């Protein structure tokens, strides 16, 4: 029984990693391809069609990825072992996303303190998934990312709702985005609230801080 539970947890972890890494990058490709015709002047009709095709293929790839993830969550798999990003990598993540044309504001409040590797990875993936959701469901809207150090590490990702889309087309509705977020936060002993707040969509999480004192690096 314990072995089966361990395998199940491993498959879920693998699915989360695959979703967070690949879906994020493919989403950026889709966004950049969709925005390119508006950022580059004097494009020929053929070039515009090419960018449109790239964006459509990227969206199709995302849908296929979700299908694969559904299989991974129900069949045997292995846990992905690789160096994992942390809080020190957030600035680079935001910079890459800005490079794709996204408008992102990153704010850090309070004095950074030591956190475990698992909490750092959780925070990074929350921000990454928040940016991916915003790019997919509300392209072109401003995104605000705020980290606050206090009794815990609070992570808030907020973006305006794209009023051109259906109210039922909310981030994570048809995929594993919010499911993966909640699983990650629960695994490190934190709490998460996500949903529409007026004219914006918000993801808030409180993650535990490993120990008091300033982080060493």
CATH number for the domain including 8?
Answer: 3.30.565.10
The answer to whether position 217 is within a domain reads no
Total count of domains within the chain = 1
Residue 177 in contact with residue 62, Cβ under 8 Å? no
Token readout for 188 is 């490190």
Q: Which domain holds residue 35?
A: 2-207
* 213 inside domain: no
Does residue 38 sit within a domain?
A: yes
Across 4-117, the runs of DSSP E, i.e. the strands, are 103-109
Q: Record the tokens describing residue 43, joined without a space.
A: 């494009």
pLDDT of res. 29: 84
In a domain, 212, yes or no: no
pLDDT computed for residue 155 by the predictor: 97
For residue 130, which of 33, 208, 200 has the smallest C-alpha distance? 200
Check residue 48 and give its pLDDT.
Answer: 85
Over the chain (217 residues), the average pLDDT of each successive run of 10 is 66 72 79 81 85 82 72 52 79 89 93 89 92 85 95 94 56 60 89 91 91 39
Residue 213, pLDDT score: 37
Is 9 among the domain residues?
A: yes
Strands 153-160 and 142-149, bridge-based pairing: antiparallel
């Amino acid at each position: 029984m314990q072995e089966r539970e361990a395998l199940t947890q491993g498959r879920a972890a693998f699915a989360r990693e695959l979703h967070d890494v690949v879906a994020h990058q493919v989403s950026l490709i889709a966004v950049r391809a969709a925005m390119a015709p508006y950022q580059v002047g004097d494009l020929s009709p053929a070039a515009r069609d090419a960018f449109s095709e790239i964006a459509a293929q990227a969206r199709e790839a995302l849908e296929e990825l979700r299908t694969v993830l559904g299989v991974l969550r129900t069949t045997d798999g292995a846990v992905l072992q690789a160096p994992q990003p942390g809080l020190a990598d957030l600035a680079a993540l935001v910079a890459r996303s800005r490079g794709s044309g996204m408008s992102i504001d990153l704010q850090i409040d309070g004095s950074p303190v030591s956190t475990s590797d698992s909490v750092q990875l959780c925070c990074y993936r929350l921000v990454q998934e928040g940016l991916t959701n915003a790019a997919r469901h509300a392209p072109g809207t401003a995104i605000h990312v705020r980290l606050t150090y206090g009794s815990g590490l609070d992570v808030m990702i907020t973006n305006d709702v794209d009023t051109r889309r259906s109210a039922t087309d909310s981030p994570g509705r048809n995929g594993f985005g919010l499911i993966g977020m909640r699983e990650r936060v629960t695994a490190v002993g934190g709490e998460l609230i996500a949903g529409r707040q007026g004219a914006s969509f918000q993801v808030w999480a409180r993650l535990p801080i490993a120990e008091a004192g300033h982080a060493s690096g």
